[in-house]
């Protein structure tokens, strides 16, 4: 491999000649264990967007000439287009401020820009990082990448889930089945009503996420090192936020309190709480599906789910609810991420939280896992479920909890006595009720008709 010599404030460093990064990126590669967890591309692209916006504002303020501005913006666009993806090798497990990654982006923009210019025009600190600090760019990139991920990755999948459940709800709105509470028999309902519960969860989760994302609109950019805005021109914070809002189409604004913006990460605790709520609901839906599909002969067996792959390496013909299992594992991971984010947000000292990379890594992982996992679940499981009407009818006829409809007519205690007698003597509910002499057959049929109970 060929190397070139790069120089920073600490001296000379040998850098691979076929890469655009500089000395500080190379030092990070040397000094930190290079695990598989790379800084998410969403963060890299958000930083590129920040550099593009900052160049515009710095040029408008007369601090950056037109040629340098155009070079910075051209390379930023290349990063946003994914044309320089191999230039961002750094691990998440670096400085807690994200300084190495901010400098990685600065160096790549400077290096690539100078290559395009055919001469050394850009300095990573003096020009690309002008009016900025890692302490305000990295949290700004966190906010941008988080909101974009929610809008572009997750919310469309939840909307699709609402559409799928709407179709299933209408399809099965008249199929009556036994309800269950505490994993015990309960009064009847329609399968469409049961599915409407799933749909209601998704609608509530989508609303919660859209409301929660608003707390991420205020940006730290312009606070520079500690929140005072040192080395940034007057109006830089406001103009940069407006430019980022224009570039993204998202109503970002400058944070009114940059000391809060740099030192507190409670906004991510709040928004990830909505992700955890979604994970909890997806866990519930997936568990309902696999319970209802349990069997095929020794379980509930009220629905059929798509058979996607063999379920056992030893038991021929076995098919398992694998999509449900994958989604519930994802839910567990998201709940673990929530604990990590909460702990990380509670740390840091004085003017800066220094757990930022782990916060955004876990946040974006949760969004990605939920988006991809729920999308697969919808495509390969939920949209293809079919009811076993015969089994639903059989279970609904067997349930003793239809006795609930008799309570207004004969009282709770007598109704309970009928249910217990039917269970103890293995009678039908009707047989036990008629044996008491409290009801005629016509009355029993009228009071306990399932269609009147849903």
How far is it, in rounded angstroms, from Cα 203 to Cα 206?
A: 5
Q: What CA–CA distances, in Å, run from 346 to 145, 210, 288, 439?
A: 21, 24, 35, 65
Q: How far apart are CA 1 and CA 454, in angstroms?
A: 73
Is residue 182 part of the annotated active site? The answer reads: yes
The DSSP string of 397-426 is HH-GGGGGGGHHHH-HHHHHHHHHHHHHTT
Cβ 448 vs Cβ 434: under 8 Å: no
Q: Which distant-in-sequence residues (6+ apart) come within 8 Å of 340 by Cβ?
A: 358, 362
Alpha carbon 377 to chain centroid distance?
15
Q: Which of 9, 182, 272, 383 is catalytic?
A: 182
> CA-CA distance, 176 to 188, in Å (whole number)?
7
Residue with tokens 């479920």: 385
Q: How far apart are CA 5 and CA 12, in angstroms?
A: 6
Residue 178 falls in the annotated catalytic set: no
d(CA 245, CA 251): 5
Q: How many other C-beta atoms can be found within 10 angstroms of the C-beta atom of residue 278? A: 26
Please give the Cα distance from 288 to 239 (Å, whole number): 50
| Strand partners of residue 219 | 254
> In this structure, are strands 253-254 and 303-304 parallel, antiparallel, or unpaired?
unpaired
Annotated catalytic residue: which of 134, 263, 270, 312?
Answer: 312
Catalytic residues: 182, 312
């Amino acid at each position: 491999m060929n190397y070139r010599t790069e120089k920073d404030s600490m001296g000379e460093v040998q850098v691979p000649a076929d890469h655009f990064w500089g000395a500080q990126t190379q030092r990070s590669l040397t000094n930190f264990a290079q695990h598989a967890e790379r800084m998410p591309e969403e963060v890299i692209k958000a930083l590129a967007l920040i550099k593009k916006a900052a160049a515009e504002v710095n040029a408008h303020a007369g601090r950056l000439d037109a040629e340098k501005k155009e070079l910075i913006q051209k390379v930023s666009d290349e990063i946003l287009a994914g044309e320089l993806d191999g230039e961002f090798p750094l691990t998440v497990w670096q400085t807690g401020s994200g300084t190495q990654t901010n400098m990685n982006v600065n160096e790549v923009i400077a290096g690539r820009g100078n290559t395009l210019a055919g001469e050394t025009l850009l300095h990573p600190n003096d020009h690309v990082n002008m009016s900025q600090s890692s302490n305000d760019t990295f949290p700004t990139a966190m906010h941008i990448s988080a909101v974009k991920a929610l809008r572009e990755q997750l919310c469309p999948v939840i909307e699709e889930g609402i559409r799928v459940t709407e179709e299933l709800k209408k399809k099965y709105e008249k199929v009556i089945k036994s309800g269950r509470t505490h994993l015990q028999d309960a009064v009847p309902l329609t399968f469409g009503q049961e599915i409407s519960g799933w749909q209601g969860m998704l609608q509530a989760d989508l609303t919660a996420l859209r409301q929660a994302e608003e707390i991420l609109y205020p940006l730290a950019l312009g606070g520079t090192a500690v929140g005072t805005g040192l080395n940034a021109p007057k109006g830089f914070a406001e103009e940069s936020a407006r430019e980022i809002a224009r570039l993204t189409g998202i109503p970002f604004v400058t944070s009114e309190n940059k000391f809060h913006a740099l030192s507190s990460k409670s906004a991510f605790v709040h928004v990830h709480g909505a992700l955890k709520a979604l994970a909890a609901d997806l866990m519930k839906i997936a568990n309902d599906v696999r319970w209802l599909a349990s069997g095929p002969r020794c379980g509930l067996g009220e629905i059929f789910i798509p058979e996607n792959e063999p379920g056992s390496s030893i038991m021929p013909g076995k098919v398992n609810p694998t999509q449900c299992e994958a989604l519930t594992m994802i839910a567990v991971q998201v709940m673990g991420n929530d604990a990590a984010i909460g702990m990380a947000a509670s740390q840091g000292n004085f003017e800066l939280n220094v757990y930022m990379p782990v916060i955004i890594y876990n946040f974006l992982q949760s969004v990605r896992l939920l988006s991809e996992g729920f999308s697969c679940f919808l495509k390969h499981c939920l949209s293809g479920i079919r009811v076993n009407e015969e089994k639903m009818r059989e279970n609904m006829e067997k349930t003793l909890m239809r006795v609930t409809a008799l309570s207004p007519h004969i009282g709770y205690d007598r109704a309970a006595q009928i249910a217990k007698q039917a269970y103890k003597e293995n009678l039908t509910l009707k047989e036990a009720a008629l044996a008491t002499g409290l009801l005629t057959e016509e009355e029993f049929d009228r009071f306990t008709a399932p269609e009147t109970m849903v």
